[in-house]
Amino acid sequence: MLELLKQPWPWYIAGPLIGLTVPVLLVIGNKSFGISSSLRHICAACIPAGIPFFNYNWKKEVWNLVFVLGIGLGGFIAIHLLSNPEPVAVNPKLARELAAYGITDYNNLFPGDIMNWSSLFTVRGFILIVVGGFLVGFGTRYAGGCTSGHAIMGLSNLQWPSLIATICFMTGGFIMANFILPNILLL
Q: Name which residue leads in pLDDT, 163 or 48.
A: 163
* Nearest Cα to Cα of residue 109 among 124, 120, 98: 98
> Under 8 Å CB-to-CB from 155, ≥6 apart: which residues?
162, 163, 166
Q: Give yes or no for residue 178 having a pLDDT over 70.
A: yes
More confident residue, 185 or 29: 29
pLDDT digits (tens, 9 = 90+) for 56-74: 888 888 888 998 899 999 9
Query: Please, what is the average pLDDT of the chain?
Result: 83
Per-residue pLDDT, averaged over 135-164, amounts to 85
The per-residue pLDDT for 164 is 92
Mean pLDDT value across residues 135-159: 84
Where do runs of H (alpha helix) occur along the chain?
2-6, 11-19, 21-29, 37-46, 62-80, 92-100, 123-125, 132-143, 147-148, 155-156, 160-175, 181-185
Mean pLDDT, rounded, for 173-184: 88
Q: Where are the domains of the chain?
A: 1-86, 117-187
Do 149 and 36 contact (CB within 8 A), yes or no? Answer: yes
146, 137 in Cβ contact below 8 A?
Answer: no
Please state the pTM of the whole predicted model.
0.68
Residue 137 pLDDT exceeds 90: no
